Amino acid sequence: MRMTWDSALSVGHDDIDDEHQQLIGLFDLLRSEAAGKDDRSVFEPILVALVDHVSGHFGHEERLMAELDYAGLARHRREHIEFLGLLTMLSLGLDRGLGTLSDRVLRLPRHALIRHIHGPDRNFAAFALDRTGRA
């Protein structure tokens, strides 16, 4: 199942939206490159880029939250840790030959990402807009 950016995924903060667009593009590239393939060398660079981008994006969000003294930072950080853990488990499973990156395998991180964007990220973006007056 393709994952594409559209305005329904916008949180209303330009920098965060740009990073989400890149993240979703990498996620979909991983899905398309890995579909039914057993050769990890085909998609491993994309998986590494995805994890790197997720880590950088989460760090950026958390720095913004700290700068704005966002009360939900600790909870948001826990969600970030859980999502990175999900990607790590996925990668370790592949390392151990426990399957391929099928749409079924990628469903959980895809849904977790969308839920996170629609919930906690939107809440923070609204707070940031209220606090700073800019998107």
Task: Please state, in angstroms and rounded to a whole number, the distance separating the CA atoms of residues 131 and 69.
Answer: 10
Q: Is the pTM of this model over 0.75?
A: yes
Decide: residue 120, CB within 10 A, 0-12 exposed, 13-18 middle, 19+ buried: middle
For the domain spanning 9-132, the CATH number is 1.20.120.50
Task: Please state, in angstroms and rounded to a whole number, the distance separating the CA atoms of residues 124 and 30.
Answer: 28
Domain ranges of the chain: 9-132
Please list the alpha-helical segments (H only) found in 1-135. Answer: 14-34, 40-67, 73-95, 103-116, 122-132
Tokens matching residue 101: 């990156």
Q: What is the pLDDT along the chain (135 residues), one digit of tens a residue?
A: 678 889 999 999 999 999 999 999 988 888 887 766 666 677 778 888 888 999 999 999 999 999 999 999 999 999 999 999 888 877 766 665 555 555 555 777 888 889 999 999 999 999 999 998 876
